[in-house]
Amino acid sequence: MKSWNFGNMESSFAKATDDKLWKYGNGRASRPMSRVMAALVACTLAQCAAYAAPATRNIAFRRVPYESSAADYTNVGHLATDGKVTDDPVWLLKADSEFPNKSPAREMPQKAIDGNKDTKWLVTESKCWLEVALLAPARAASYAIMSANDVPDRDPKKWRILGSNDGATFEEIAAAENPGFAKRHECKTWEIDKPGTYRFYRLAIDANSGAPETQLAEFDLLDDAGNSIIRRSSSSFQSRWISKGGTNEWLKIDLGAMSRVDSVSVKWAKGGEAESSYIELSADGEAWTRGTSGKDIRFVKLVCEKAKGEVFGVDEIEVMGYNALKVASVPLPRPGIMALALFGNAVFLAFIALVCWGVEALWNKLFFPRTDRRPFPPHGAMPAARALKFTTIHMSWIVLATFTVSTALTVFFRCFDIELPPQDPTLWFADLACPWTTRLFIALFSVIAAPIVEEFIFRRFVFRAILRGIPGVPPLACLLSGVVFAVIHYNLAAFLPIVFLGTVLAWVYWRTGRLWTTMLMHSVVNATSFLLLLVFHEMVG
C-alpha cells in the first residue's frame, strides 16, 4: 500500500500555496492560481446575481379570487389559488327532473336530496321522474322515500328505480308500489332487486295517490350498511372552482400589489374545460386589457365564455411574475420554540462531543499505553503563525468552492423540477417574518456554537478514528469523514456540498494539526451562508 506522508513530502501544490502562488504579482507562478480564483469568484458572483434578481414566483398563490358564481358553497373561487390539483373529473351532486320548469322556485328537485325533511320537491305532474347524479359511481343496495308535509294524495304510489353511468342509457334495477304513508314525514325503505354501481339513479314515478301534483320530502340511496351514498358523495371534497353555469362566467384575482406579470396559466379540471376563454389584466379593476403579461398589474381575470360541458371547472390558476409583497416561506414556530430547539441541538452536540472524548480516552487507556501513542499529525503540528497564514490563504477558495458546488447542484435539481427542502433553521432564518432577535440567535448558534462542537466531533474524533483504521491513506480518511459529516446533518439538499466541506476541513486539520483552524473555516462558511441568505432574500422580498 502506498504511504502518504505529508510531513516529509511537501507536494508541489502545498509548497506553491505556502510560498509563491498566493503572492500575487511575484512572478509567473502566481498566474495559474489567480486565474482559478478569478474563475471561482466570477462563477459565484454570477450565480449570486441570478438569485439577487427579482424572483419569478406564483404571485396568485393563496390570493383571494372573486367569482361570478359557484356551483355550491364548497366549490368557490379561492380553491383555484390554493396550490392543490386533483385528477378527478368535475362531477356535481345534483338532482334533476323530467319537468324542471313545473316546480316552484323553493321546491326544486335539489330539495329532495338536501337532507332536510322540512323542504320538499314538488312537480305539477302526476307521472314524472327524479334523477340524482352522484359525484362518483357508487353501489346502492336499497333506497328510501320520505313523505312530504301535506296533501297525502301527492305521495308517489307506483315507481321504478333505474341506473345509468352515462346519464343516457338506463336499466331498471327495482320496482315497487306503496300502499300509502301512515303519517307525514314518514320514511320507508325498499331493497334494490338488482344492485349495481352507477353514477346516475332515477326514480321514475308511474303513478301517485290521485292528485295532479307529485311531491316528496327526501329521496336517498343506501349502501349495504344502510349509510347514505348521497350524503357520502356530497362530502367528497374537490379543491377547485366550479361555476354554476356554462356560459359567461369569470374568476377575478386581486394580486394584492402592483405586479409584473410574466405569464398566466389555467389548469382546467377534467369535464370543466372551456370551449372559449381569455385572460384580462387591469391596474385598477375597472379598465381591462386582454393579455397574459404586463407591468403594473393588480388584477387578473379569467373570462369563461362557453364551456365544453355543463359548467366550468378550474383546478388552479397560476400567475407567474413578481411583486414586492413579503411572503412567509414556511409556518414559523414561536420564537421560544425555535430557541428551545436550537439550544437543545447545541446541548445534544455538546453531549455527543463529551461521549466521544470519553470513548477515546477509555480506548487509549485500554489499548494504547501512553508510550505507544503516535502524535497527530505524524509530521507535527504547524506553528500557530504559519497555521493562521495557511488557513487565511485557503479560506477564500474553500468558501467559494463550497458555494459553487451548492449553487450548481440547486440549479441542476431545479432543471428537473426537484425541490429539496433545506434544514429548519435555514428556513426560519430566510423567512421574512422571522424576528431579528430569532435570526440573531440562529446566526450565533450556527456561526459559533455549531462549528466548535462539530469540529470536536467530526475532525478531532471521527476523522482521527478513521485515520487510525487506515493510517496509510489520509485522503480516503478525509473523504470518509466528510461522508459521515454529511450523513449526520440529515439534509439531502446539501449532502454533496457538506461532503466536500467535511473532506476539505479534514484535510486542513491533517495539514495544520490545529483544530482551531477548521473551526475558523467552518464558522466563516456558515457566516457567509447566512449573510448571503439574508441579503438576497431581503432583495427579492
- Per-residue pLDDT tens over the stretch 46-99: 444 444 445 578 889 888 888 888 766 667 888 888 888 877 777 667 788 889
> What are the CA-CA distances from residue 13 to residues 9, 185, 189, 290 (Å)?
11, 94, 90, 63
Residue type present at position 117: K
Q: Say what the pLDDT of residue 16 is.
A: 38
Give Rg (Cα) of the chain: 36
Q: What's the grid cell of residue 43? A: 462563477
Q: For the residues 179-200, what does the mean pLDDT come to?
A: 93
Q: Say what the pLDDT of residue 23 is.
A: 38
Provide, rounded to the nearest whole percent, the portion of the chain with pLDDT above 90.
28
Q: For the residues 174-179, what does the mean pLDDT come to?
A: 91
| pLDDT classification of 232: cutoffs 50, 70, 90 | low
Ordered domains of the chain (ranges, CATH): 58-85+239-322 (2.60.120.260), 94-234 (2.60.120.260), 335-540 (no CATH)
Q: What's the grid cell of residue 418? A: 426537484
CA distance 526 to 335: 21
User: Quick check: 451 pLDDT over 50?
Assistant: yes
DSSP one-letter code for 67: E
User: Quick check: 503 pLDDT over 80?
Assistant: yes
Place of cell 349495504: 224
Q: How high does pLDDT run on average in the chain?
A: 78
User: Quick check: 240 pLDDT over 50?
Assistant: yes
Q: Say what the pLDDT of residue 487 is.
A: 83
What are 313-367's pLDDT values in tens digits? 899 999 998 887 755 444 555 555 556 666 666 676 667 667 766 766 676 666 5
Buried b (16+ CB within 10 A) or exposed e, 75-88: bbbbbbbeeeeeeb
